[in-house]
Amino acid sequence: MMNKVMARRHVSSLWMDANHLLIEWLAYHYHVLRLRHLIVAVDPRSTTTPTEVLKRWVERINIQIWHDEERYINLQKFHQQVEERMEEYQREASNFDLSTHRIRQREFNKECIIAHKMKDRGWTFLTDTDEFIYMNPSKSDERFFSDWKNLSSVDEPDSVYTVLQKLRFPNDSFGMTEPCLRIARRQFSANEDHQNLFPSHSELNLKNFQTIRWRKWGFRNPSHPHLAGKTIIDLRRLKLMDIIAEENYGDPHVPLPNICPKEDVFATEDEVILLANHYMGTAEQWNFRTNDARGSECMRRLHDHHNAIVGKNESNDVSSWLEGFIGSIGMDEAVLLLEGVGVVESMPDSENFEQFNNDDGSGEAGEQEYKEPFKIGERILYVYEDKWYIGTILASNCRGGYDVRYDDASWDYNLGVEEMILLSWGVSIER
């Protein structure tokens, strides 16, 4: 049985220009997950800082902000790791900024897991500010939790926390009860089909909340793969030596592959008890990160593409959380904590811009936007098992992967640059 302190949830996040999301994310997870310990690292490419938003929570959440990269990165090895990654992953071979971000992200993930373990903390997960976790309403696995019929809804405080506190683990792994739970993610679009979804509210603009405004999720084409999942880990069930093993390299989807199975990273909703809604937000919110290593122009096109292919299903599974949050802490306090929710900052915080936009100190990163190897509309040849497929590039994931529609009407998603041969230049398609 966990004691009251050990049962609290612990989260870590690498942050970049996302205050408009962070405000809602903090309140939501404080409400459903009993979030009490948070470690945040600010990406050096960020033009803003989360400090003022995080200050609102200092009396409720123990927050650490890691500004100094030397806190979680071995700078002597950092550039070597980036070069090795660019050689290993052809999709990043020409994108120094993206490989730098991936290595930074992994190093931070591993170090903050170690930091939570050193404080003898329990359930911990690595997440982004556009992801909102909750119990899978359609999954009732009594092997883990015997009281599914009385499962709390998200409007009740601690709805996820309560289940995690009472979980049983029937499987033995690594000589211990299973320490990892997979979280399947739902991709939401930024499309609306109603004009009057938002009842008037005297204190808050409900349209500014990701969890209330966006309802359409799921890829329209059944052949499209679902998103890679995330993991929540009970560090109490692990030894420190298990975590610091070299094989545990801090991948955001499988942070501890030496402990948590890699094979279930694409587990479906039918297989997990936890879900996370992944929101794109409005075009203004999406495009606010002007220093995104994937390239601002490519990111704008990706937002349009996702809106075109996402929206098969509708869900209101988490929209009632706000009412419960207000009821538990009071309207006045809720309004203070949620001030500015969903509103992008009018301009970069010039006072902090230089501090957070210094990247690795070389002066080389970020000077030129990443150029995509292929362009939308170009024709490609793909050979698989001695069969030839000719098709048209429909979209890029801005990481060297492409959605392709073949001439036989079949599709391929996230096809890598190393798998394609360019047939012609400048062929346009209807969008």
Cβ–Cβ under 8 Å, residues 416 and 384: no
Q: Are residues 21 and 76 in the same domain?
A: yes
Compute the half-sphere exposure of residue 356: CA atoms within 13 Å on the CB side of its CA: 24
pLDDT at 280: 94
CATH number for 412: 2.30.30
361 lies in some domain:
no
* DSSP sequence for 129-146: TTEEEEE-TT---TTT-S
pLDDT at 242: 87
Q: How far is CA 4 from CA 36, 154, 159, 366, in A?
A: 11, 21, 16, 45
Rounded to whole angstroms, the Cα distance separating 243 from 239 reads 7
321-329 vs 19-32: helix crossing angle, rounded to 10: 70
Tokens of 110: 């591993």
Q: Are residues 387 and 341 in the same domain?
A: no
pTM for this predicted structure: 0.83
Rounded to whole angstroms, the Cα distance separating 405 from 221 reads 12
* DSSP sequence for 207-268: GG-HHHH--EEEESSTTSPPPP-EEEEEGGGS-HHHHSSTT----SSSS-TTTS-STTTT--
pLDDT at 173: 42
Using alpha carbons, select from 280, 307, 335 the residue that is nearest to residue 132.
Answer: 280
Compute the half-sphere exposure of residue 153: CA atoms within 13 Å on the CB side of its CA: 10
Q: Are residues 85 and 194 in the same domain?
A: yes
Q: Are residues 96 and 151 in the same domain?
A: yes
90 lies in some domain:
yes
149 lies in some domain:
yes
Q: Are residues 333 and 387 in the same domain?
A: no
Cβ–Cβ under 8 Å, residues 169 and 177: yes
Q: Are residues 326 and 228 in the same domain?
A: yes
Using alpha carbons, select from 391, 375, 381 the residue that is nearest to residue 426.
Answer: 375
* Other residues' Cβ atoms within 10 Å of the Cβ of residue 204: 18
Q: Tokens 């979680």 label which residue? A: 72
pLDDT at 355: 38
Series of mean pLDDT values for 10-residue runs along the chain (431 residues): 37 70 96 93 84 95 84 72 66 64 82 91 89 89 74 92 81 54 94 64 88 95 89 90 86 88 88 94 86 75 92 94 96 96 72 39 44 87 91 88 92 87 60 39
Q: How many domains does the chain have?
A: 2
Q: Are residues 269 and 140 in the same domain?
A: yes
Q: What residues make up the domain containing 110?
A: 9-345+352-356
Q: Are residues 246 and 124 in the same domain?
A: yes
Q: Are residues 93 and 47 in the same domain?
A: yes
Question: What size, in residues, is the chain?
Answer: 431
Q: Are residues 287 and 392 in the same domain?
A: no
185 lies in some domain:
yes
- The DSSP output letter for 188 is B
* DSSP sequence for 159-198: HHHHHHHH-----EETTEE--EEEEEEEEB-S--S-S--S
pLDDT at 403: 93
Cβ–Cβ under 8 Å, residues 50 and 16: no
